[in-house]
A and B are shown apart, each in its own frame.
Chain A
Amino acid sequence: MVAVTHNDAELRRRAWDAAAGVVDPEIPVLTIADLGVLRDVAVSGGQVEVAITPTYSGCPAMNMIALEIELALERAGIGRPKIRTVLSPAWTTDWMSQDGRRKLREYGIAPPQASRSRRALFGEQRVACPQCGSGDTEVLSEFGSTSCKALWRCRSCREPFDYFKCH
């Protein structure tokens, strides 16, 4: 029994590492671990189950992410996992890691602010430009090229940029 438990723990660690390396197809600098989409990896009797939580209700990247997890675990020699979708608690950008926020900024996307800011009716939020760092920025559109992004513009360096919306 001890040996089995040890094997399960080892398998779980390998499965987590493989799944954690899967990147978001829309924002390839972020892994699903950075995003907080990867919630849990469980092993029972040699069968691996990966729990993920969807970001936006209609986000088309979720199907792709599930497929990429299966491929990553197969490549790691673990075999096909079960993918479980967890709805509760609902995903929030507050779960994004500090490392993920830094990577986003370096990629040219302003990282999300605290999730309560979305409740401002006529939004007075301040977002720093990821290119030059200036706070003199303005929103062009609340809805950008993907569900998770808004379109902003910097008044200092005149560059447009994506802002990862708080959620």
Chain B
Amino acid sequence: MSVASIEVCETPLVLYTLRRADDALILGHRLSEWCGHAPMLEEDMALANMGLDLLGQARELYGYAAKVEGRSNDEDRFAYLRDVRQYRNLLLVEQPNGDFARTMVRQFFYAVFADLYWRGMMRSSDTTMAAIAARSEKESAYHVRHSSEWIVRLGDGTEESHRRAQAAIDDLWAYTGEMFAVDDSERGLIDRGIAIDPAALRAPWLKTIAAVVGEATLALPGNDWMQKGGRDGRHSEHLGHLLSELQSMQRSFPGATW
């Protein structure tokens, strides 16, 4: 009853583009899970809006990956017909929504990184990536602002909201190191000016994170041990469950449209 996964020819640029597309799709999907469940109507709309931005970014990136790969794959096949081990997203973005504080801390960690990343990528020598970056950074700026304001409100709110926000920071911290990692495949793209070196984003990322967390009367963990694996397809157990929901229709009814 189920359709087989596709094969992807992961040249460095295809892999690089798929990694960023997967980040956007998986986080966008996580946000969409809040639809109809958020603590209030305005926040329901905000989460859906941010999810929609991310979905739009994912579509452009998948479309570009398909063009670079030059085979029969397209954005839908990348999204619906790759299995867990073929997904290349950060472990951070696949972590479950948990409570609202956890969703916002995850969003905050990612958005501050994505905003710096897209602004840097506007200088990419790859004109398509530079164009996608120019659009995406306008959206990430709002995501940074929205999530930052919530971190302050939750941290400097009630005892309960403070406790939950701090727990989320402590639990998700180990997934932040992966954002700044570079492997050999990406090193070549950085040398050619197609990609930017994410290691250079760590200091400005930490500066913004520390400023907002401080304003929120919260604290950053002292532990700097970091978990990696998502970029190579080694995921937490959560991604498989997410994909089973995201892909079930296309796996069961290949090519279904409406």
Contact = CB atoms under 8 A, between A and B. Distances in A.
Contacts of B243: none
A57 B59 contact: yes
Interface string B218-249: 00000000000000000000000000000000
B89 interface: no
A144 B57 CA distance: 19
A156 B111 CA distance: 35
B131 A88 contact: yes
A132 interface: no
A120 B145 CA distance: 8
B42 A87 contact: no
B201 interface: no
Given A57-B135, A121-B148, A141-B42, A87 B128 contact: yes
B46 A122 contact: no
A54 B136 CA distance: 12
A48 to B, nearest CB: 24
Nearest to B130: A88
Contact of B49 (A54, A87, A90, A143): A143
B53 A88 contact: no
A57 B141 contact: no
Interface centre among B57, B138, B144 (most CB of A within 10 A): B138
A142 interface: yes
A164 to B, nearest CB: 13
Contacts of B197: none
B36 to A, nearest CB: 15
Interface residues of B, number: 35
Nearest to B46: A143
Nearest to A92: B138
B53 A56 contact: yes
B41 to A, nearest CB: 9
B127 interface: yes
A57 B142 contact: no
Given A90-B138, A121-B148, A142-B145, A56 B56 contact: yes
Interface in A56-84: 56-60
Contacts of B141: 118-119
Contact of B135 (A54, A120, A140, A145): A54
A89 interface: yes
Interface string B94-132: 000000000000000000000000000000000110111
Contacts of B57: 57-58
Contacts of B48: 143
Contacts of A88: 127, 130-131, 134
B165 interface: no
A101 interface: no
A115 B142 CA distance: 12
A57 B136 contact: yes
A57 B139 contact: yes
B65 interface: no
Nearest to A89: B134
B134 A140 contact: no
A80 B132 CA distance: 28
A142 B46 contact: yes
A131 interface: no
B146 interface: yes
A167 interface: yes
A157 B50 CA distance: 30
Given A118-B142, A122-B148, A87 B52 contact: no
Interface of A: 54, 56-60, 87-92, 115, 118-123, 140-145, 147, 151, 165, 167
22 contacts: A56-B52, A56-B53, A57-B136, A58-B57, A59-B52, A59-B56, A87-B132, A87-B134, A88-B131, A115-B138, A118-B138, A118-B141, A119-B141, A122-B149, A122-B152, A140-B42, A141-B43, A143-B45, A143-B46, A143-B142, A145-B45, A151-B42
